[in-house]
Structure 1
Amino acid sequence: MGATIGYVDKCNLMSRRRFMAATAGVVASPLLPNRGLATGLHTFGHGAFDIRVCSDGHMVVPASMLAIGAPVDKLAEVLRRTNAPAPMAWPAANIPLIQIGRELVLVDVGDGKNFQPTEGELLSCLRVNGIDPASITKVVLTHAHPDHLWGICNSAGELNYPNATYHVGSAEWNFWMSSDVATSLPADFRGIVPRTQRALAAIADRVTFVKHGDEIVSGMRVLSTPGHTPGQFSLELEGDTGLIITADALTHEVISFEYPEWVNGFDLVSDIAIANRRKLLALVAAERTKLLGFHFKYPGIGHAEKSGSAYRFVAA
């Protein structure tokens, strides 16, 4: 896929401008809310995998960015049910650490306190729980948004996971590393490009490009779910009724399930994102597949059930 996003609808372009402006305001605010960090680890087994869910903290974003053009009364009702302080939403940042045999696989690396001050807690969470970042053998990067990528290096530019190999979608890499990607983005979104490109460049000599169906380790496969970004993917793990780590194919435990047609202002290609969201929900609800969502309320684990013409998330 090329670097241009000229096919992105105007609604999404405007939503991202509002998001970047709102994020700048949040970062500057002295009254930043704190949900409380999950310093412990939620652990569970799935087939041959031992999984620990770390918290990188949470984001603070205008709820309207998750539901562009949604009816005001319906969005307000969603916020009441999730105990969010309207008009804001507090998406969690749940990062799975997965062990199988001698492999220790980290799925995304958080924002490293480089994007929002309520995030960047992953390294502290690992160390508090006795996990040496140098022991991680593989890092999977589902996509290159700041909250998933910018924690890759420390302030000196050194890799936080120095002994890992890094697995990235080739379409995602080509999109963000294109020399003209900044000019193809809205003006207010271009500021993330330099740090994003530096983060990816830091792993250039140890990156493995992956595509749909590729195995990261035995029993862990790439599941292509683009739309949120051009090369975003989820992960499918074998065992029991299956487990899908959704990354940002599903981003909210109410909105994504009950209102999958609502336009998410974070999605670069909203029509593709909506189509893949619907397809994924139909699949996991029919097969009762376990889900682990990056932005669902910690620890983000549950499954989808059909509910009328849409779905609902049932937390484990």
Structure 2
Amino acid sequence: MTTRDTIPSGLSRRDLLKLTATAAVVMLASRNAIAADFHRFQHGTFDITVVSDGFLTLPAEITPEERQAIMPRLGGNAATAPVQANIPLIRHGEDLILIDTGSGSHFQASAGKLAANLQSLGIAPEAITKVVFTHAHPDHSGATTTIDGKVLYPNAQYFVSEAEWAFWTDRDCATHMPSALHDFARGAQRDLFAVKDRLTLLRPDDEIIPGMRIQQTRGHTPGHGSIELAGDGGLLITGDACTNDVIFFENPAWHFGFDTEPEIALKTRQMLLDRAATDKLKMLGYHWSYPGVGYAERKDASYRFVSA
């Protein structure tokens, strides 16, 4: 959890949790969270389209000075700011792969727009061949099933890290987290058990398809994994290993309130940013300003996000 000695005066652990669940809303609001266009790019042998799942909104309760300095940069107002959900759709040969499924009907009404956005691209749920989960929080796996309990992507194979499966399917997993996150546990079990018969469990560095591997980025959850694609210097799809391209790039020593293992998550995020800056590794962030594709550049003792 966030501690006061790592954040500005007046910004509590709950404040930062709320604030970090933010990113630019203006573009999404103007499109009613249904994308009119999409960011598409090639990376090696992969054709990638960043598809929006909409956005999440939580209030930010910080001092007026901090609000004035931070909130406009996140696309918010005096009371709230949004957090985007950027989902990579990856075409590789005959495969059409989603990295996470988004919220569906199991989280906030402003999210869960992925299926509609895919439809606007001419892609039916039946066309998806693989789904890879970075982790099983509701804004990442909540659209695994429809509101009536049917698997949304019926022809897909599913992949998640072995550690993530073990954590969430432990009947006592709720005892290891704050009570506020117990609904997350129930949702994760709902999502993972729904596809158990078509689920492949991955260990660190396992290859999903040629050139696509899962990398352990533990901390946000005990089994959190990021997806690395080969070619063109590498691309790391970070999931929630680094949740905001403003706050945590500029303040790499801050904690994030949703991290299950705060100290491990902090070290993971710092190592990720250090590697990205050193190796000029391209990254794609789930909750970063759309489309969330860019680089980490060192700036004094911190970093800044450079859009690609």
1:281 — aligned with what?
A: 273
Residue aligning to 1:61: 58
Confirm or deny: 8 A CA contact 1:166 1:207 kept in the other structure. yes
Q: Which moved more, 1:179-188 or 1:158-167?
A: 179-188
**Is 1:196 equivalent to 2:193 in the alignment?**
no
Q: 1:3 is matched with which residue?
A: none
Does 2:125 correspond to 1:133?
A: yes
Q: C-alpha separation between the residues in 2 aligned to 1:19 and 1:286?
A: 29
8 Å Cα contact 1:42/1:52 also seen in 2: yes
Once residues 63 and 311 of structure 1 are traced to their aligned partners in structure 2, the CA distance between those partners, rounded to angstroms, is: 23
Q: Establish whether residue 304 from structure 1 lines up as the match of residue 296 from structure 2.
A: yes
Note if contact 2:104-2:144 (Cα within 8 Å) is conserved in structure 1.
yes
Residues 77, 242 of structure 1: CA spacing in aligned structure 2 closer, same or farther, 3 A cutoff?
same
Measured in 2, the distance between the counterparts of 1:85 and 1:226 equals 33
Report the Cα offset of residue 283 of structure 1.
0.6
Say if 2:217 is the partner of 1:225. yes
Equivalent in the alignment of 1:187: 179
Conserved in 1, the CA contact under 8 Å of 2:15 and 2:60?
A: no
Give how far 1:250 is off. Answer: 1.0
Structure 2 residue aligned with 1:143: 135
CA contact (8 A) 1:106 1:136 kept: yes
Corresponding position of 2:24: none
Match 1:293 to one of 282, 285, 301? 285
Instruction: For residue 54 of structure 1, report the CA deviation from its aligned partner.
Output: 0.6
Superposition TM-score, scaled by structure 2 size:
0.88
Query: Which residue is equivalent to 1:83?
Result: 75
Alignment CA distance shift 1:175-1:76 (3 Å): farther
In structure 1, the residue matched to 2:25 is none
* Structure 1 residues 86 and 173, CA gap change in structure 2 (3 angstroms): farther
Aligned to 1:67: none
- SS state at 2:143 partner: helix
Aligned to 2:96: 104
SS in 1 for 2:165: helix
Whether the 8 Å contact between 1:56 and 1:122 is mirrored in structure 2 is yes
2-structure distance, mates of 1:185, 1:34: 33
Whole-Å separation in 1 of the counterparts to 2:252 and 2:65 = 17
Partner of 2:254 in structure 1?
262
- Does the C-alpha gap of structure 1 residues 211 and 89 become closer, same or farther in structure 2, counting only changes over 3 Å? farther
Q: Deviations 1:216-261 (Å, cap 9, x if unpaired)?
A: 1101111110111110011111111211111001111111111011
Note the C-alpha offset of 1:81: 2.1
Letter in 1 for 2:258: F
RMSD (Å) for aligned C-alpha atoms: 2.4
